[in-house]
Amino acid sequence: MRTKLLLSMLLCLSITPVALIHATPPITTPELALPPNDVLIAPPPATLAFATDEDLRLPSQYLAGRVAVRLVLPESNGLIDPSDENWTPDQIEQVVSETQAALDWWRERLPAARLAFDLVVQTVPTNYEPIRYGIAQEGLWISDVLRAWGYEGGNYIEQAYSAAFDLRDQRGADWATTIFIVNSARDDGYFADGRFAYAYLNGPFSVITSDGGPYTTRWLRAVIAHEFAHLFGALDQYSSANVSCDLRSGYLFAPTTNSMFNNCGTNEPSIMRELITSFTIGAVDVSARAQLGYRDSDGDGVIDVLDTTPTITLTATGQTLSHRPMVELMVRDLGYPSPVQPDVSINPIQLVEYRVGDSDWQLALPVDGAFDQTREVVQVELPLYDGEHVVEFRAVNLVGNVSAPIKQTFTISGLGVAPVYRLAPAFIQEQTLMVHVQAPPETQAVEVSTRRDFVNPLRLPYRSEIVLPLPNELVLSTFTHAPMLYVRFIDAAGLPSLVYALPIDLPEPVMVMIPLVLR
């Protein structure tokens, strides 16, 4: 995996100039044309050389899921350069609003990407006045800003990677990136080298002047939206960027088939080709979407980068004091394969289930108490009695994709023959929930829950007819199909049974009169 990443970075460098490859699109007037060199390629984080398969995720590999965005407004303090630019509350409010508008624009463009942005705004002191410098000197003030956060080690690119990784972890996000907005209100909106906006391909950051160069503050949101796409792998498409049709980028390594440079044959409006009109009409072409990871190859409504599959492995077996087998399962969601980047999934595991023979599927819970990660460890005591049992295990991820099942045979002795339990569908009678069951008379208890995970079940002494108050879930909910009640038995030795799922027969709809209170 690590080898694939390093080779991919060398491939990128071999097909482009060493650092700078594209420009922010010019607006239509010829005198505002820009030099074609405003997208950079950063070396991979040094930490990847020591990474395991579990921590190969880069800051911004594809545009989907939850994204933490740190908006940094450097504030010069006059210690090295004169402090010519100073943020005012109105300027800060305007820049934050423009950034949020750009993020909202992307969320609306990519509805199947499950995008949610977490914008963190920070004004950070620096000894430099950033607008005085160009790309070649960006490390001076960027490193100064990052040191103010406590990131001391390595060069400024490594500092930026560390800041992104920490932000991602702190905010519980799938990805993280940084946008530096440099105050240019008293300048002409350009850096010293004539640039006004640039970004590193797939991160870790972008840099933009507060005036957006020739686009002015009126279209700053469009500039930010364009540069943001670079942070997640999209390339430029306008002619002066010199991006050929077959130049590939992004997690899916998609070609730039809408480029104007060598007449690719398409002429789709796109934010990567022209800013103002494309932003206004919400245009992103197919190739740019693919470079961002937004492609649905099999047409199932789930984009490729989210169309992942879990895998499940039986890692340990043992026996509890009751002599029932205890199994440990390692579950992992496998990332959609990338030709050039580490394979990464952001789909958490949603369910781990097992079944004994032809029983209902049983829910097994993770050791940390919640299904919220792409990797989970599950331990479960199998409710088995004497005999040979084939147990099947499977996992389900967030998009509903199911792992290939694994099977294991367990031979049990010393616990006796399995009790016979019989259950009838539950039904509602006069605002109570009625359940009829049959079990051996020495059965200690019956546990019932409206939740499949059996959190806080109601435990009752065993009897064949169980009368329960009507649960709030049934009173307050509207159902498209029959709700379920979950039941398990505690035998004479205190051992729990499998969980049985009972459909609840609902009565015909009745009208409930609620008093109207006028105020």
Question: Across 2-16, 267-281, 493-507, which has the greatest mean pLDDT?
Answer: 267-281
Q: Give the model's pLDDT for residue 25.
A: 56
- The average pLDDT across 384-405 equals 96
What is 242-258 written as a DSSP string?
---TT-EETTTTEE-TT
Q: How far is CA 97 from CA 35, 92, 356, in A?
A: 28, 8, 56
User: What are 329's two structure tokens?
Assistant: 């399962």
Residue 54 per-residue DSSP state: G
- The average pLDDT across 322-341 equals 93
Q: Give the model's pLDDT for residue 172.
A: 95
Share of the chain above pLDDT 90, in %: 74
Q: Give the model's pLDDT for residue 20.
A: 36
Q: Give the model's pLDDT for residue 275.
A: 95
**pLDDT value at 50 more than 70:** no
Q: Is the dihedral of CA 78, 82, 85, 88 positive or negative?
A: positive
- Whole-model pTM: value is 0.86
Q: Give the model's pLDDT for residue 454.
A: 85
**pLDDT value at 35 more than 80:** no
Q: Give the model's pLDDT for residue 163.
A: 96
Q: How far is CA 414 from CA 323, 386, 411, 492, 497, in A?
A: 8, 7, 11, 15, 16
User: What are 511's two structure tokens?
Assistant: 């009208």
Report the C-alpha gap between 69 and 106 in whole angstroms: 13
- The average pLDDT across 80-95 equals 96
Q: Give the model's pLDDT for residue 38.
A: 61
Average model confidence (pLDDT) across the chain: 87
**Residue range 146-199, pLDDT digits in tens:** 999 899 878 999 999 999 999 999 999 999 999 999 999 998 899 999 999 999
- The average pLDDT across 125-136 equals 96
Which residues are CB-neighbours of 287 under 8 A, at least 6 positions away?
A: 237, 254, 255, 256, 257, 258, 266
Main-chain phi, psi angles of 139, to 5 degrees: -60, -25
**pLDDT value at 380 more than 50:** yes
**pLDDT value at 233 more than 80:** yes
User: What are 152's two structure tokens?
Assistant: 């001391």
Q: How far is CA 512 from CA 174, 477, 507, in A?
A: 45, 13, 13
Q: Give the model's pLDDT for residue 513.
A: 37
175-182 vs 205-209, strand pairing mode: parallel
H runs (alpha helix) in 283-387: 286-291
In this structure, the number of other CB atoms found within 10 A of the CB of residue 27 comes to 17
Of the given ranges (11-15, 69-73, 473-477, 494-498), which has the lowest mean pLDDT? 11-15
Nearest of 411, 318, 321, 396 to residue 354 by alpha carbon = 396
Region of residue 148 (left: phi > 0; alpha: psi -120 to 50; beta: else): alpha
225 by Cβ neighbours in 10 Å (0-12 / 13-18 / 19+) ranks as buried
Q: Identify the residue with better confidence: 497 or 24.
A: 497
Report the C-alpha gap between 195 and 494 in whole angstroms: 74
Q: Give the model's pLDDT for residue 321.
A: 65
**pLDDT value at 15 more than 80:** no
Name the band, by pLDDT with cuts 50, 70 and 90, for residue 21.
very low
Beta strands in 246-386 (DSSP E): 248-249, 254-255, 309-319, 325-334, 349-356, 362-364, 375-381
Question: Across 25-29, 243-247, 289-293, which has the greatest mean pLDDT?
Answer: 289-293
**Residue range 267-320, pLDDT digits in tens:** 999 999 999 999 999 999 999 999 999 999 999 999 999 999 999 999 888 776
